[in-house]
A and B are shown apart, each in its own frame.
Chain A
Amino acid sequence: MSFAVSVIIGLAGLFALAAALRAAARAGLSGRARSIANDIPLTAAFGLLVIAIYAAVAIAAPALAPFAEREIVGNQFEAWSAEHLLGTDRIGRDMLSRLIYGARNTVGIAFATTALAFVVGSILGLWAALTGGWLDQVLSRIVDAFMSIPALIFSLLLLTIFGTSVLTLILVIAAVDATRVFRLARAVAQGIVVMDYIEAAKLRGEGAWFLIRREILPNALAPLVAEFGLRFCFVFLTISSLSFLGLGIKPPTADWGSMVRDNATLITFGDITPLLPAGCIALLTVAVNFVVDWQLYRASGLKE
């Protein structure tokens, strides 16, 4: 129970810190920055704070981690102690250090993958919806063909064929995710392209790229941003599921998805070790989506 208590205390502390920072920003800043600080809800401030902490940890990992990422420094599954704050893992590496390096690897990979998937998927999706006709049909059918193959099995096929380096991992997951983004972007944009202002812009003679960038994207951004928040954390899960099937990131690189998998059997006996990396993923997911929700709300133009 002490674990649950400390988690609650930790979260409450983060909230308090976020509230304090927001108050400081309201007092200390001016102009546009101040209006944002006045506007920001506590949850979004909390989200921003968590993201900032993760980013700092990821950047400063070598300085923060007490031990090296791959170094075996103790026995298997040592208990929490002053020397190993979160104990050791299956082969005696320091858990805290692995988590810290995991931030760098996992968040980096997830961000690269999601960004790539969104750039490719949403541009193609908006373009298809705007142009319609045969281009829309061809792109949609190709995407349909790829999407109708289950993602996990398709990734398994591709990774077995192309190998499992970090780069192929990013490309394969991004390719699979991009099909999902394409579909959503196209669906959202279909509701927009029939609007009168698009008609008007077309009559003005604007090009496709201008229409996508200036007319459609701003209006389709909200659902896409919401989707980004989710897709981002799905990447961790995909990596974790892939390691369930024996693929995934190569050792001794630490990543949270594989760390959950490696220690998962322990949860059968109520041992909380696998909750640590899973908790890291969950906290980041919630934080990112709190910020996304705030942005979504701002984009909706609601003032209540």
Chain B
Amino acid sequence: MIALRVALGIGLLFIVSLIIFGATELLPGDLAQQLLGQGATPETLAALREQLGLNDPAPVRYWNWLSGALTGDFGVSLSNGRPISELIGARLGNTVFLALYAASLAVPISLVLGILAALWRNSIFDRAANAGALTAISFPEFFVAYILVLWLAQTGIFPSMVRINPTTTFGDRIYMTFLPALTLTLVVTAHMMRMTRAAIINLMASPYIEMARLKGLSPLRIVLRHAVPNALAPIINVIALNLAYLITGVVVVEVVFVYPGLGQLMVDAVSNRDIAVVQAVALIFAAAYIALNLLADVLSTITNPRLMHRR
């Protein structure tokens, strides 16, 4: 079954590359116009298109890209001629680092808060945790970031922007990327916490929980040993969704903290119609997403034996 899913995943990557290529083709304007900008004239446009190979029909360009990508050669960025692997390499590392950093804060916090909120449902704690988390996600990401900068960077505790290079030590990285990681934590925690709470509460009226309660088990034990294992499927799915978001969706945080990640690269490449870069980044995002979901599906299947034996 897993082999089938991997094969499906690869097929999916192909579809994604087609969608992205098609959508980028539909965008008005092309790379030559974007590069020349206000300075475009018909003559220089024609010369630049010729030089960049933009005059080939779309299927030919797609095929050229695909055949290169299949052999591991993602080619060069059309706009500045640098190898795409070089452009992406360091940024991919940065993106993964930030995503893991934020997840390592957000997942434990939201699970603990979610379980406690379910345990002490309708208490002041439940209401306060809920209202706090909801307020945090009601603010747009950039706004959360600005407020954190106002409180924590303008007072000199943390830097207001991330200045890292390949020689930065791990400790420095942790310190310098704390504000972006905290911003992302605030953004994703509420979603995971509320889903955890909802999934657990949804099970609390089940007969087997009733049974456990009648046996006289402590509420904490009931929640941890009986409710949580059965609520894992939706919780795992929500965590996977949010992890995927942390890898693919953080362009706004990258912009605010001047963090060189993949999101900014993709937005730049889209607005400049640099198709080779758009495709490469889109494939990385898609692969990350597919892998996380595959993992989530496998884990939820394991947690629910009934799903293993479907007819």
> Touching in the complex, A and B, CB below 8 A?
yes
Report which A residues bind B (CB closer than 8 A): 41, 43, 132, 137, 141, 144-153, 156-158, 160-161, 180, 183-184, 187-188, 190-191, 194, 222-223, 226-227, 230, 233-234, 236-237, 240-241, 244-245, 257, 260-261, 264, 267-268, 270, 274, 278, 281-282, 284-286, 289-290, 293, 296-297, 299-302
| Nearest chain B residue, comparing its CB with the CB of A278 | B139
Smallest Cβ distance from A287 to chain B, in angstroms?
9
B147 surroundings in chain A (CB, below 8 A): 267
Q: Are the CB atoms of A194 and B141 closer together than 8 Å?
A: no
Dominant SS at the B interface?
helix
Q: Are the CB atoms of A267 and B286 closer together than 8 Å?
A: no
Taking a contact as CB atoms closer than 8 A, the residue among A144, A191, A299 that contacts B293 in the complex is A144
Complex CA–CA separation, A285 to B194 (angstroms):
13
| Nearest chain A residue, comparing its CB with the CB of B4 | A137
Complex CA–CA separation, A284 to B202 (angstroms):
24
Question: How many residues of B sit at the interface, in one of the four size bands?
Answer: 35 or more
Give me 19 other A-B pairs in contact (C-beta within 8 A), A148-B248, A150-B266, A301-B205 excluded.
A147-B289, A148-B244, A184-B234, A187-B237, A223-B199, A226-B195, A236-B138, A240-B140, A241-B142, A244-B255, A264-B142, A268-B154, A278-B140, A286-B131, A289-B134, A296-B201, A296-B202, A299-B202, A300-B202
Type the 1/0 row for B261-287, where 1 means its CB is closer than 8 Å to any CB of A: 001001100100000000000100110
Q: Are the CB atoms of A241 and B252 closer together than 8 Å?
A: yes
Contacts between the two chains (Cβ within 8 Å), count: 184
A150 and B139 contact, Cβ closer than 8 Å, known pairs A226-B195, A300-B204: no
Q: Are the CB atoms of B146 and A268 closer together than 8 Å?
A: yes
Smallest Cβ distance from B287 to chain A, in angstroms?
8
Taking a contact as CB atoms closer than 8 A, the residue among B131, B201, B238 that contacts A302 in the complex is B201
Report which B residues bind A (CB closer than 8 A): 8, 11-12, 15-16, 19-20, 23-24, 26-28, 121-122, 127, 130-131, 134-135, 137-143, 146-147, 149-150, 154, 190-191, 194-195, 198-199, 201-202, 204-205, 233-234, 237-238, 241, 244, 248-249, 251-252, 255, 263, 266-267, 270, 282, 285-286, 289-290, 293, 300, 304, 306-307, 310
Complex CA–CA separation, A141 to B24 (angstroms):
21
Name the residue among B23, B130, B238 with the largest chain A CB count within 10 angstroms.
Answer: B23
Q: Are the CB atoms of A281 and B138 closer together than 8 Å?
A: yes
Complex CA–CA separation, A137 to B9 (angstroms):
12
